[in-house]
Structure 1
Amino acid sequence: MTRHATFPQHRKVIIYARYSSDMQSPTSVKDQIDQCQREAISNGWTVVDVRSDEGITGTRDDRPGYQALMNDLEQRRCDLVLFESVDRLSRDQEHSARFYKIATHNEVELYALDSGYVDAIKLGFSSTMAAAFLEALAFKTRRGLSGRITAGKSAGGISYGYRPGAEKGDLVIHEDEAIIIRRIFKEYAEGKSPLKIATGLNQDLIPSPAVGTKRKTSGHWKQNTINGNRERGTGILNNELYVGRRIWNRLRYSKDPKTGRRVSRLNPSEKLTLTELPELRLVDQALWDAAKARQEAMSKERKTVAADGGTLAVTRQNKRRKYLLSGLVRCGLCGGPMTVAGGNATAGKRRYYCANAREKGVSICAGMKGILQTDVEHITLTELRDGLMQDAAFAKFKVDFERHTHAQGKSVGEELKHRDKMIAEQERKRDNLLKAVADGDYSSAVIKFLNDVEVELTQMTAQRVAATPAPVDLPDNLPELYREYVDDLVGMLSQEDVVGRAGLELRELISAVNVHPAKAGGHTITLEGKFLEMLDKTKPAGRAGYVGLTKFVSVGCGSRI
């Protein structure tokens, strides 16, 4: 229908249509184009091109169709742009004003089906109304979500481990996925990296959380899915709903005026809404705390690595760590790190030297004679060993050992049940495919799929057998075994396959091993950290508490560096 009869005939027109990522149907673009074409025909205008954007918000100006239209204006390919309404062209005041300036400069007029010819005043008014609409919509949406959270409902999105309940916004535990969640927490607390956990899940053919969603995905687990971001509460290891606690409003969002993309920022703690939902707990508190303790230890390690000028990730740093006390030994003269050099692992003649004196010279640190690596470790771990030899320490170890064994058996039982269920589902899939083949309803694609299913079923069955543990009984000679391990603490913790993790655990007890030169020609070693608190707890009755722990070590031979 013609809005302005004053328009001249034979105009060259480019049509623009758009639907955003809200509840609009993709067919709305076709509907908009059809209406614009009818309008052009009724006015005798010639449509020279059509530009459109689908599923992109009007607050962004990096839309492909919109950018192509801007280029059309610059090339003067038309003298009229035709669209349904101004908010289809843009919902951003700044973008609308710029588009109007470029169109006017190139002598191109704008025409909207709902309001006719668009001038500066009409464009400004429409753009302001569109901006006000978006702000009001955002406010009402957040108000509605806040009400749902207060009522104990979900504000949208379903975390892995849950499925929708009977009523809208309710969640119930997805038992099969809950087993995987507990497996992830258990393996992480035991020292596995997120990458190794993801690798294991992929090897076991466990579908990732993205499977079955609208996201384009390979269906594989990734380490970031597990690790996420502690501060932002993303990733499986940081989802507090797994301990029955929902935290809402952790982030706030705004549009970057340069890119038009949404940017998230952390809200202050007083803005958070916390709801206790014990019925949704998947992970017991002890396991959650163990995972959080490891995360905290890894975080401290990253800071230590960064402070020492390291650039490796913590997991790579741990793999690279050859010595139990790497990174902990400090020079008592300058406070800088001491590093191992000289000798060889077989002869045991490696020594700690001040890195500053060795690499920066005497103007930074005068240095001291090297101290045997084995002496430093022996002095440090002897005191730890003495504490662990106390009867109370063994009693605690026995209780912890029995609890760990019981928990491990329960966890393995859950995992085996889950594997049995996956195998049963795969067998049903295979049987249905075999029936289709027997009935003659098949194609080459069906045969290929059947073969793939058979391969996966064989793999699942083999993994089920491998995952079945041998029965574990509490050894009769547990006290002797315990004392043997503690007595050989240095040797046990220095083994290549445990030194990285052992070193990480020691950093929870020891913050520094300070080495000072002694007048007698040797060294004094002073320990710092929670280690001293533990020694206080295990010291014999009547003995004075530790203010610091200092030991003298003779230097033997070794050059001053």
Structure 2
Amino acid sequence: MKPKPTTPAAVVKLTRCAIYTRKSSEEGLAQEFNSLDAQREAGELFVRSQGGEGWTVLPDRYDDGGFTGGNTDRPGLQRLMKDIAAGRVGVVIVYKVDRLSRSLLDFAALMQTFEAHQVGFVSVTQQFCTTTSMGRLVLNVLLSFAQFERELVSERTRDKIAATRRKGKWTGGRPVLGYTVDPDRFKLVVDPAEADRVRAIFQLYLTEGSLLPVVEELARRGWQNKAWTSRKGLVLGGKAFTRTSLYKLLTNVVYAGKVRYKAEVHPGEHAAIVDPGVWQRVQSQLAHNGRGGGGDTAARNRFGAVLKGLLQCVPCGCAMTPTHSTRGAKRYRYYVCSAAQKKGWRTCPSKAVPAEQTERFVVDQVRAVGRDPALVAGVLAEARAQDETRAADLTREERGLTTDLTSWHKELRALSGQLRPGADNGPVIARLADLQERVGSAEARAAALRRQVVEARSRVVGEDEAAAALSAFDPVWGTLSPREQGRVLALLIERIGYDGGTGKVAITFRAAGIQTLARELADKREEKRA
């Protein structure tokens, strides 16, 4: 009798298992055997139970102690994802689902990555497998409850802060000048030296009547905002006062012995620094002067400031905004440097310029361009150079999109060949949908770029046409309203730079607007004739 042939033992495929552990707080992590160790031990026991299937534990530890599960910004998780992408992991083991993530959206993205790299996922205590539809359903239900728990904790925290503020307690935030924080009782304690400085600032404002003179005086004295050291050892604050920071100090209810929660104001546990009468007088003065806190507040553009948005202070590199003052029945308009408004007049050589004279000068320059053929030619040459530069930039962007489109179309053809009937085509279909969306957006953008290139290179304005438009500017200008005048100047002018140190004004023309101006002025003439 012939012996029966022996059946060769089945080859067991090795599956490398990564155990991920997480704990939200750092409490207890210094212990010899902490929560992370307990989670890993449970994971190792589970892997050993699957030893017959070829499962083995990777020696690398993917631990995140003291990190929230509300986001994926965790060093241990990031190392795990890199190893998954490198093909070193076959299964991810966690103690519970919420150890990996408490966000449904983040978890869905992680699962998509796992599926793309054919990585399994196991929760030890909840016993389910993501390879079945039932397992995925149970997983999503559990994760929904984890996210609900996280949102519930957030709501409780907000409610606790609200209740604490309503009791007048300090709930944290940036330290304020005049107080220190008692670390044991977590209460505001008056700093005598800083408190004297705060009282002096309130008195200064009552004396001066507006913010800017106080800012200048504080700069002269060298007084600055509150400086403090953060928990990370960074020195913050300690900057010079501006109108904005001074306004915040003068309106901070903390100095009146109160605390604010949203629109509510409640009596505080801390001592007040400023006398109630002084506090109320300062608030009344601020309300009388308006949001800017003084008579130097920039007015809105309701008095015909036609250079608004065009005039800039050259030394400070910032806008010059319209303002006005009144003496009796007469109003005087100005353009003032916004940096000088915030930091004081001594910080800027430009300070302020009379509005009417400056506007008249700019309009005269526009008229002069129309009368001088050489100036017209120079403006048009500059416009053509700008159009060519823009066309070149647009062409470079279009070429980059064309390269991307070629690569994406190639990947689309390759992925289409990977679809198999009856197979799990989820990752392939997801990538195909992503590529189709990218291709559609890129093709639309490329078409728009081609139109813009043609427009930039075909936008040629003749010198005769430009001269006619600018010569028509003179008789029509006086018939326009201030709002229309401002819009016409914005068509023609890109920037007006004023240097208070030299008294020079530099005008950069937007020559491409000349053609638009010619058409609009012609329409105006037709309306007048009708």
TM-score, normalisation: structure 1: 0.45
Per the normalisation by structure 2, the TM-score is 0.47
